[in-house]
Structure formats: structure tokens, C-alpha cells
Structure 1
Amino acid sequence: MLFRQLEYLVALSRERHFARAAQTCHVSQPALSEAIRKLEDELDVPLVRRGRKYEGLTPEGERIVVWAQRILADRDALRDEVGALRTGLSGRMRIGSVPTASGAVSLLTGPFCAAHPLVTVEVMADLQSVDILRQVQNFEIDAGITYLHGDLPEGVRTVPLYDERHVLLTTAAESTAQGPAVTWADASRLPLCLLTGTMLGRRTVDGIFAEAGLRPSPRVETDSVGTLFAHVRTGQWASVVPHAWLHVFGVPQGMRAVPLIEPARTIPVGLVTSAREPGSVMARALIDVARRTDVAAALERLPRER
């Protein structure tokens, strides 16, 4: 019963709404509310600020949620560990990825699924870096793929995968892109379609432009790398895209993907997991695969335009 009460509290903290929390837990709203009330009685502290509607957790509730997430994660890790000892690893692994790196996720999930045929994988490919780190620390996902910048929080383990570099994606007829490389200054003068400014991938691109004394003014912004390719295909736009995405789409017919220089910059991308021991058996298995897989080599060759 305690595990169920903790699950309900965590769901309420995540959904911030009684009805939605009950729906995700597959119970009625009165059942969820009553279970949380009983937990409050057992702990002898108020956990939820109640009014006509959900008003948030009390300070005590916020602390209990942290413990609940740890307890539930340890329970799940124990179940996975015992299952792995019996029949091999099974269950569901959850991976989060920033959109700019999601094109490389299959380079890990492929060998992982081959090594662990009883495991299913859920990939959330449109998370922001801050959300990935939060969800890893809160045990909402087993692992994440994101930028390995210098201010990563304590309590996470990292495995470098590759260095992200950028290419100018444009039409084959664009005169600027006829050489072996293009400067960031030349790229800034083209009609650009870029990721939205809220995304770390876009802020990284803006930082490189700024290093060259430039400030791009894109006419179109999107949160999807696939949408960038679609806009370039129309012939009206150029874009700056991560090289890793050429692994997914190649260089579509009628387009060119040209390395960007002056400055030539790379940004490390890697796997992040919770450093808490013993931790998720799924995460440990994925780390083993990541260390055996040369993701950088798989992404190294620039596909030729068709």
C-alpha cells in the first residue's frame, strides 16, 4: 500500500492536477485523494495544499516527493536486477534526448536491443537539456543524451559519445555553398531557418555566431530538426544543422551540407545517468553498450549529396 501511496504523490507532483494524476495512475480521483490523505495521516504531516483546486505541495510534501522518487526507483531497480538474474534483462528502458542529438540515439538503441532482446525502449526525443538532467535526477528516465557542458549538476554520471559539429544545409544551387567549407559570416547573410531560441542547440549556434561578431536574424524558427530539413527543401531557406542528423536523412537530393568554419567549433555530446548506486540496471546496461559503441566513428563521414 505504501508504494501505491508514494506513486500517487509523485504523479500528483508531476501532473499538478488531481484528475490528471489519477488518470496516469489508472485510478479514480477519489481513490487517489483518499490514498494521499492516508499517507498524510501515517506521516503526520500535511503534504498537499488544498483549496477549491490543487494549489501545490507543502514544503513537507516537496521533501517527501524526493524520498518517494528514490524509494520507487530503488524498488524498480531491485525488480529489474532480480529479473535480470532470472531470465536476463527485461522490462522498459526510458531514454530522453535533446532534439539535436536524437538522430544519433539509434546508434545506441540498436546494439542495446540486440544485446537485451526482452527489453523495450521508449525514446523521448524532444526534451530540453535542463529537463533531461531533472528527469534523470528524479528517476523519471533511465538515461539521457545531451550536451556535456561544464555546469552539469552533481549526482550524474557521463559517458562522452561524440563531438557535435555544424553544417550549413542549403540548396545545391546556392553559390555560397559551392566550396569545401562556408564561414559563419557567409551563412549569416543567407535567409535562415533555425531552431527556437529556447533550445540549447540554438543557443549554442548563437554563441558561435556571436564569437564571430555576428547575430543571425532567422525568418523561420522551429523546435524540430526535421522541420529545418523540410524548409530547406523548398529552396527558400538555408539552415545550420547538427552533423549527426545527416546520419538520419543523408543529404537530400538537390541540397548540400557544407562544414562551417571561422570559427570551427565542436560541442561534446554524451550519455548522462544518475550516479546513485546501485542505480538503474537499465542505465548500467546502456552505459556498457555506449562504452563499446564508437558513435563518433559512425557519424564521422559526411554523406555526399545525391
Structure 2
Amino acid sequence: MLFRQLEYLVALARERHFARAAQSCYVSQPALSEAVRKLEEELDVPLVRRGRSYEGLTPEGERIVVWAQRILADRDALKDEIGALRTGLSGRIRIGTVPNASGAVSLLTAPLCAAHPLVTVEVLADLRSEEILRRLRDFEIDAGLLYLDGQLPEGFSALPLYEERYVLLTGVADRTAQGATATWAEASRLPLCLLGGAMQGRRVLDEVFEEAGVRPSPRVETDSVGALFSHVRTGRWASVVPHTWLQVFGVPHGMRAVPLVGPERTVPVGLVVHAREPGSVMARALTAVARETDVAAALERVPGDP
């Protein structure tokens, strides 16, 4: 009963609405409300600020939610551990990635599923680094692929995987595409389609453009790497994309991928998991696969390089 009460409280904190929380837990709203009320009685502390509608958690409720997330995560990890000992690893692993890294995640999920045939994978792409860390902290995902160019907050551990580098993607008829390389200054003068300015991948590009002494003015912005390729395919646009995505799409007919120099810039990308021990058995399995997989070598050759 306690686990169920904690699940309902976590759902209420997440949904911030009694009806939506009840729906996410597949129970009636009165059942959820009564379970939360009984939890308040057992703990002898108010957890929810009540008015005409949900008004948020009390300070005590906010702290209890953190403990509830940990307790539920440990319960699930224990179940997975026992299941792995009995029949091998099974269940679903949840992986969050920043948009630029989602093209490389299959290099880990493929060997993971080969080693553990009963495991299924859920990939949440197009997340910001901050959102990945929040979901890891709240035990909503098991692992994340994100940039390691800053200091990770306490409570997380990281395994470097590869260095992201960048290419200019443009039409074969473009004069800039004729050379073995292109400069960031040359790229800035083209009609560009780039990731949106709020995304970390775009902020990295802006820093490199600034280092080159130029400021691009993209005509099109998007939160999808796939949309970048589709716009370049029209012949009207050029883009700057991570080399990892060439492993997914290749270099489509009519396009050319030219390495960018002046300056050459790489950004480390790694696998981040919760540092708590023993932690998620899924996260441990993925980390073991990542240690045995040379992701950098798999991404070293960029299709379309001269």
C-alpha cells in the first residue's frame, strides 16, 4: 500500500493536477485523493496545498516526493536485479539524448539488445541537456547521451564516448562544396538552416562562428536534424550538422558534406547515468556495453569526406 501511495504522490507532483495524475495511474480521482490523504495521516504532515483545485505541494511534500522517487526507483531496480538473476536481463531501458547525439545512440542499443534479447529500448530524442539531467535525477530515464563540455552536477557519472565534429552540408553545385574543406566564415555567408537558438547544439555552433569572427543569420531554424537535411535537399539552403548524422542519412544525392575548419572544433559527448549504487541494472548494462564499444572509431569515417 505504501508503494502505491508514493506512486500517486509522485504522479501528482509530475502532473500538477488530480484528474491527470489519477488518469496516469489508471485509478479514479477519489481513489488517488484518498490514498494521498492517508499518506499524510501516516506521516503526520500535510503534503498538498488544497483549495478549489490543486495548488501545489507543501515544502514537506516537495521533500517527500524526492524520497518517494528514490524509494520507487530502488524498488524497480531490485525487481530488475532479481529478474536478471533468474532469467537474464529483461524489461525496458529509457534513454534520453540531445538531438545531435540521437544519431549515435544505435551504436549502443544494437549491442545491448544483442547481448540481452529480452530488453526493449525507449529513446527520448530531442531533449535538452538540462532536461536529461532532470529526468535522470527524477528516475524518469535510466541513461542519457549529452555534451560533456561543462561540469556535471553532483550525483551523476559520465563515460566519454566520442568527440562531435561538424561538416558543412550543401548542394554539390555550391562553390563552397568544391574544396576539400570549408571555413566557418564561408559557411556563415550561405543561406543557412540551423538548429534553434535555444538548443545547446546551436549554442555550440554560435560559439565557433564567434571564434571565427562572424555571426550567421539563418533563414530557417528548427529543432529537428532531419528537417535540416530536408531543407538542404531543396537546393536553397546549406546547414552545419554533426558528423554523427552522416552515419544515419549518409550524404544524400545532390549534396556534399565538407569538413569545417578555421577553427576546427570538437565537443565531447558521453553517456551519463545516476551515480547512486547499485543503481539501475539497465544503466549498468548499458554502461558495460558502452565501455566495450568504440563509438569514436565507428563514427570516425564521415561518408562524403574527400
Band the TM-score falls in, shorter-chain normalisation: over 0.9
Determine the structure 2 residue equivalent to 1:139: 139
Name the counterpart of 2:270. Answer: 270
Kindly, what percent of the aligned residue pairs are identical? 78
Q: 1:123: how far off?
A: 0.6
The corresponding residue for 1:202 is 202
Task: Give the AA of the match of 2:169.
Answer: L
Count of aligned pairs: 305
Read off the aligned partner of 1:296 and give its amino acid letter. Answer: A
The corresponding residue for 1:94 is 94
> Who is 2:223 aligned against?
223
Displacement, 1:304? Answer: 2.5
Shift of residue 106, structure 1, vs aligned partner: 0.5
- Partner AA of 1:88 in structure 2: G
RMSD of aligned residue pairs (Cα, Å): 0.9
C-alpha displacement at 1:151, in angstroms? 2.1
**Bigger mean CA offset, 44-53 vs 160-169:** 44-53
Q: TM-score, normalised by structure 2?
A: 0.98
Q: Secondary structure of the equivalent of 1:103?
A: coil
Give me the whole-angstrom Cα distance separating, in 2, the residues matched to 1:139 and 1:256: 41
Residue 149 of structure 1, CA deviation:
2.0
Deviations 1:218-254 (A, max 9, x none): 1111000000000000111101111100010000000
1:113 corresponding residue in structure 2:
113
Shift of 1:150: 2.0
1:59 is displaced (CA, Å) by: 0.7
For 2:48 and 2:57, the matched residues in 1 are separated by 4
The answer for the alignment partner of 1:180 in structure 2 is: 180
How far off is 1:79 after superposition? 0.3
Contact 2:103 2:244 in 1 (8 A): yes
Structure-1 separation of matches of 2:214 and 2:63: 45
Q: For 1:1-306, list aligned pairs within 5 A.
A: 1-304=1-304
- Say whether the 8 Å CA contact 2:258–2:304 is kept in structure 1: no
How far apart are the structure 2 equivalents of 1:50 and 1:205? 46
Q: Secondary structure at the match of 2:103?
A: helix
Structure 1 unaligned regions, length at least 5: none
Offset at residue 96 of structure 1 (A): 0.4
TM-score (norm 1): 0.98
Whole-angstrom CA distance in 2 between matches of 1:230 and 1:53:
45
1:103 CA displacement: 0.5
CA distance in 1, matches of 2:85, 2:176: 58
One-letter identity of the residue aligned with 2:258 = V
Deviation at residue 94 of structure 1 after TM alignment: 0.5
